[in-house]
């Protein structure tokens, strides 16, 4: 993966033991392991480290890729797959090449120049440690990624032979550019799957047009132009080639585009924008998802490239402050899962006290921490009630404590005064605005809030909260009614004047 400053959403990972079992069943790694075992104690290789013709035939037979019943085309394909499996065995360290420099320079290709012997990686996999298995699988997957970004031999021939008898021209293929394209596509797929809350019936699978559009369509474009849609189609076909190659490596599960949708120009006819399609129809345009192994492997590559790529459970031992700060940037489903794991080994009353203490503050991130505190406390049982009652008189926490106690069915909950209600309202809106939530949903929230409280803005500007003026100014932008929006801007002005800013 190329260097990246990305901050990725958190993902769920299977335990290492389960991932290792999956890795051992991946076709690409399974074949490479079988060839490493077959190569013992040694096999002759040419100057490029490739098997000699006779041994390549034997390797294909060992993998069941050739035989008496195979046709000529199947025989050729089988030899190619055997050569690929051998290359993966070499690249991942399952076999080690021993070729003298002199022999490497002087021996013609196809003749023995050295030998290959089982490597340390093979011994580590044979020992069965899950982390060792996963490291070797990831090396094999990286080899598959490199191959996917390389031009196909047929593509090169077509490019070189293009032109009716004309002189061959340089192929239009940049491996670095293609590798970056594939890296970006996989990072987008990783993000789309991480943001999926599991309610989609596609079980995390992303329609190929959606993934292609994420690479092409600008965020600010509401209605893609014909030119953009054409580019989406071209990107779909590029992704189709890549994902077919990556599936045997265990990185993705891929359902290709239905060939019946491809027209004479070899381009799938995309549905028109706004067309209603049922899941079965959507699947005909291709579906792709990262496998559990793919999620693990891509996360490792992202971290190596400098990205922040958390996993659910990373914060189980974190402080309350670190937890709440992190949860503010998590999708709702991931935040809940992370909070549940954080609470697992803590007594409810102790956890509540730590969360409430972490929620205090007047810094810019404090409103978001308090909102996350309030949401996390909904997962705590009634045993936490004493901790909530301890902060009833706290200016910053008293409002959310009353909400928790009321929703928990507690008795004798003090009624909040107007100042506390408005302070909590401003605080909650500040957190939601900081999270950059859906503007349409925020607009509805602002409209309903103002409708429920007569004279809202006249009271709101008096709230002594660090974010009062900013919240009122945002409400002026979000409220759909022009008069109410104007009132919000006036209130923001008053709040700034009061604060001398």
Block mean pLDDT (10 aa), the chain, length 501: 70 96 95 95 94 94 74 69 93 94 88 94 93 95 88 52 45 78 95 82 79 87 80 91 92 88 61 62 88 97 94 96 96 95 96 98 95 96 96 96 95 93 94 79 86 88 94 92 93 88 58
The whole-angstrom separation of Cα 353 and Cα 339 is 15
Q: What is the pTM of this model?
A: 0.85
HSE-up (13 A, CA, CB side) for residue 421: 10
CB 389 within 8 A of CB 401: yes
CB 150 within 8 A of CB 176: no
Residue 349 CA: distances (Å) to CA of 21, 379, 386, 399: 40, 12, 7, 18
Give SS3 for 96: strand
Sign of torsion, CA 28 31 37 43? negative
Q: What is the reported pLDDT for 170?
A: 47
Ranges of each domain in the chain: 16-129, 175-298, 320-416, 422-499
Q: What is the reported pLDDT for 154?
A: 52
The whole-angstrom separation of Cα 253 and Cα 251 is 7
Strands 206-207 and 43-45 come out as unpaired
Q: What is the reported pLDDT for 202?
A: 53
Counts for the chain of helices (H) and strands (E), in that order: 24, 6
Q: What is the reported pLDDT for 182?
A: 95
Q: What is the reported pLDDT for 164?
A: 45
3-state helix, strand, coil in the chain (%, to 5): 60, 5, 35
The whole-angstrom separation of Cα 146 and Cα 176 is 10
Q: What is the reported pLDDT for 73?
A: 54
Which residue's structure tokens are 């989406």?
232
Q: Which burial class, exposed, middle or buried, applies to 127 when counting CB atoms under 10 A from its CB (0-12, 13-18, 19+)? A: exposed
Provide the terminal-to-terminal Cα distance of the chain, rounded to the nearest Å.
46
Q: What is the reported pLDDT for 169?
A: 43
The whole-angstrom separation of Cα 57 and Cα 231 is 42
Q: What is the reported pLDDT for 77?
A: 81
Two tokens, residue 315: 């914060």
The whole-angstrom separation of Cα 118 and Cα 237 is 39
The whole-angstrom separation of Cα 247 and Cα 28 is 9
Q: What is the reported pLDDT for 160?
A: 46
Q: Which burial class, exposed, middle or buried, applies to 203 when counting CB atoms under 10 A from its CB (0-12, 13-18, 19+)? A: exposed
The whole-angstrom separation of Cα 154 and Cα 167 is 18
**Other Cβ atoms closer than 10 A to 3:** 9
């Amino acid at each position: 993966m190329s260097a990246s400053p990305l901050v990725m959403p958190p993902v769920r990972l299977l335990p290492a033991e389960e991932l290792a079992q999956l890795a051992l069943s991946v076709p690409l790694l399974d074949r490479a392991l079988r060839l490493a075992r077959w190569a013992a104690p040694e096999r002759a290789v040419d100057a490029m480290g490739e098997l000699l013709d006779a041994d390549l035939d034997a390797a294909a037979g060992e993998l069941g890729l050739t035989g008496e019943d195979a046709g000529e085309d199947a025989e050729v394909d089988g030899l190619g797959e055997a050569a690929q499996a051998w290359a993966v065995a070499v690249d991942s360290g399952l076999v080690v090449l021993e070729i003298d420099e002199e022999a490497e320079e002087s021996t013609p290709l196809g003749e023995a120049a050295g030998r290959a012997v089982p490597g340390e990686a093979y011994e580590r996999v044979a020992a069965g440690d899950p982390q060792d298995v996963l490291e070797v699988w990831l090396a094999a997957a990286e080899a598959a990624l490199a191959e996917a970004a390389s031009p196909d031999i047929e593509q090169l021939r077509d490019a070189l032979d293009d032109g009716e008898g004309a002189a061959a021209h340089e192929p239009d293929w940049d491996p670095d550019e293609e590798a970056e394209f594939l890296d970006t596509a996989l990072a987008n797929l990783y993000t789309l799957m991480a943001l999926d809350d599991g309610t989609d019936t596609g079980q995390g699978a992303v329609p190929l047009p959606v993934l292609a559009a994420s690479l092409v369509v600008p965020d600010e474009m509401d209605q893609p132009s014909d030119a953009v849609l054409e580019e989406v189609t071209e990107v779909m076909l590029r992704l189709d080639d890549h994902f077919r190659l990556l599936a045997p490596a265990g990185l993705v599960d891929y359902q290709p585009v239905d060939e019946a949708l491809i027209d004479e120009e070899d381009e799938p006819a995309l549905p028109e924008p706004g067309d209603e399609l049922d899941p079965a129809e959507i699947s005909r345009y291709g579906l792709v998802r990262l496998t559990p192994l793919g999620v693990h492997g891509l996360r490792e590559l992202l971290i190596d490239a400098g990205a922040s790529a958390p996993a659910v459970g990373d914060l189980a031992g974190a402080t309350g402050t670190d937890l709440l700060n992190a949860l503010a940037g998590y999708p709702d489903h991931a935040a809940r899962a992370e909070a549940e794991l954080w609470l697992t080994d803590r007594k409810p009353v102790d956890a509540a006290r730590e969360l409430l203490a972490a929620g205090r503050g007047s810094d810019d991130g404090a409103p978001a921490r308090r909102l996350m505190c309030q949401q996390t406390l909904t997962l705590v049982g009634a045993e936490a009630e004493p901790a909530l009652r301890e902060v009833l008189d706290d200016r910053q926490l008293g409002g959310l404590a009353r909400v928790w106690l009321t929703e928990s069915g507690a008795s004798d909950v003090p009624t909040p005064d107007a100042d506390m209600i408005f302070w909590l309202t401003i605080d909650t809106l500040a957190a939601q605005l900081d999270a950059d939530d859906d503007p349409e949903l925020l607009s509805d929230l602002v409209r309903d809030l103002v409708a429920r409280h007569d004279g809202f803005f006249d009271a709101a500007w008096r709230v002594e909260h660090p974010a009062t003026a900013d919240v009122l100014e945002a409400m002026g932008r979000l409220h759909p009614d022009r008069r109410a929006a104007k009132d919000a801007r006036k209130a923001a002005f008053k709040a700034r004047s009061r604060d001398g800013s």
